[in-house]
Structure 1
């Protein structure tokens, strides 16, 4: 059974082909945030942002489908006051290289494991959003949880019951021509937020998503794994887990909290998919409390 990443697929069903944008999107980083690159074991140059005291506890932020590391900037700036913060650009995203291969969970999981091994000597907390949740759970299958102190899993299924219902958006294009890829990505980016975002921010974010080739973006939407693959990873690791979701995932979260020790859930009822951008102060506070209570008291 092929596991479809429904949050993005609901907006991208039936896309037409369009040439990929291959150049990095220019960005002006705050002076406290530094660019770094490393080479993976399969020879791909991947990018990450780093901030905060090198001796502090490390937080590693993993973005969602086609998203850049800098979408976590409200968290990078807030947490780097006390923590060593790393925000990752997965392959084909942000300022990382755009290889022809590797857009599947095992390789993406290896990328995260190699990043963690590079940036911290002590176990880290991984904060993963959307597709980044699945990539992080794949990383646990690949490398175990020896280097992980805790998980913050944001707004995606974790393979727990009940399975996600198909969204009505999947049927939007059955009776009219689908949009081209650029139009679809514009729509997808705007649909991630419930709070109004500046138009320049939305345009820059859309341009970043278009660095991922369309063919690769489609492969990322249909990982060939059963739902149990993700659930097994969550239950096999014994580290504290915070599940931060919108109401769509509450039923899964309740079962997760009921059946898995050391698990908490926080529900954002009035935010979009990018809930940490819509409500950064609340997200940061909830995460900080989890870190101090469950991970590094």
Structure 2
């Protein structure tokens, strides 16, 4: 078990399918799940900060980072089953799941399929459980036209995928003006996911509906949602009305925990300290 340094490990979740994960520390399991195309490396600041009191694990979901790339299983129900296999294999009882972006869908997928018995709390970062809706007042990822353009015009080649994530990183993820080296760092992490895996996951995410599961989470266990500032006017009322029971924190951009780790870690620590 990792103690004083971050360890890079693999675990077989299905025949021929290994997930890569980073681990450091001992104690209650704190499991971080990244968003579309990203790896657990994006949580480096959280691995270092929380490992003094927790067993911190940051995973690369199937198709992302150093985990297996497969032609099947690039959907969030499968990702939920992969997460369950990893948690069972590592003995992660009493865990706190922390999902970012589409990692939220993995949190809710796990709970829909396997329940809350092995969890202490759920933390979700900046994505609705219903990413697409005809209701313009609801928190979604965009209009059908906008999302169709991403799927059919960008995520059809490595160059298109990189262009999309470059625009998304500078326009949505990060609030400060990045130096070229920082943008390249983020795009290199993202680029480890093949464009065809990215497209499959993107389309599955957009048509996912975990609203009822997310409501059950808010009603049945400690739960926290972080929301980016740029769409708090829509997202906060949505969470307050549709997901009663969730604590809400508004800060930063989509990649808030990376850009503002000291503030974000402090808010999460306050939430964790209140858990029984």
TM category, shorter: 0.7 to 0.9
Query: Per the alignment, do residues 118 and 250 of structure 1 end up closer, same or farther by CA in structure 2, a change over 3 Å counting?
Result: farther
- Compare the two structures and name the one with the higher helix fraction: 2
Deviation at 1:272, TM superposition (A): 1.9
Secondary structure in 2 aligned to 1:75?
A: helix
Query: Per the alignment, do residues 219 and 50 of structure 1 end up closer, same or farther by CA in structure 2, a change over 3 Å counting?
Result: same
TM normalised by structure 1 equals: 0.77
Provide structure 2 residue ranges, at least 5 long, that are not aligned to the other structure.
132-136
The aligned residue for residue 46 of structure 1 is 19
The aligned residue for residue 45 of structure 2 is 74
**Whole-Å separation in 1 of the counterparts to 2:34 and 2:92:** 22
**Whole-Å separation in 1 of the counterparts to 2:242 and 2:169:** 34
Query: Per the alignment, do residues 265 and 219 of structure 1 end up closer, same or farther by CA in structure 2, a change over 3 Å counting?
Result: same
The aligned residue for residue 128 of structure 2 is 157
Q: Is the 8 A contact 1:195 1:272 kept in 2?
A: no
Q: What are the within-5 Å matches in structure 2 for residues 124-143 of structure 1?
A: 124-143=95-114
Query: Per the alignment, do residues 205 and 226 of structure 1 end up closer, same or farther by CA in structure 2, a change over 3 Å counting?
Result: closer
The aligned residue for residue 214 of structure 1 is 195
1:189 aligned to which of 164, 169, 181: 169
Higher RCO (C-alpha under 8 Å, 6+ residues apart): 1
Deviations 1:224-283 (A, max 9, x none): 7866x3111112231111010024255444454456554210111xx2210111211111
**Whole-Å separation in 2 of the counterparts to 1:208 and 1:129:** 15
2:85 aligned to which of 114, 117, 138: 114
Secondary structure in 2 aligned to 1:156?
A: coil
Secondary structure in 2 aligned to 1:223?
A: helix
Q: Is the 8 A contact 1:117 1:147 kept in 2?
A: no
TM normalised by structure 2 equals: 0.83
**Whole-Å separation in 2 of the counterparts to 1:103 and 1:218:** 9
- Aligned residue pairs total 259
**Whole-Å separation in 2 of the counterparts to 1:88 and 1:291:** 20
2:267 aligned to which of 286, 290, 295: 286
Deviates more, 1:76-85 or 1:243-252: 243-252
Matched, 1:170 2:143: no
Provide structure 1 residue ranges, at least 5 long, that are not aligned to the other structure.
1-30
Deviation at 1:205, TM superposition (A): 2.4
Q: Is the 8 A contact 1:67 1:209 kept in 2?
A: yes
Matched, 1:86 2:57: yes
Query: Per the alignment, do residues 199 and 169 of structure 1 end up closer, same or farther by CA in structure 2, a change over 3 Å counting?
Result: farther
Deviation at 1:189, TM superposition (A): 3.3
Secondary structure in 2 aligned to 1:38?
A: strand
Q: What are the within-5 Å matches in structure 2 for residues 250-261 of structure 1?
A: 251-257=234-240, 260=243
**Whole-Å separation in 1 of the counterparts to 2:255 and 2:145:** 18
Cα RMSD of the aligned pairs, angstroms, is: 2.9
**Whole-Å separation in 1 of the counterparts to 2:161 and 2:93:** 41
Large movers: runs of 4+ above 6 Å: none
Deviation at 1:136, TM superposition (A): 1.4
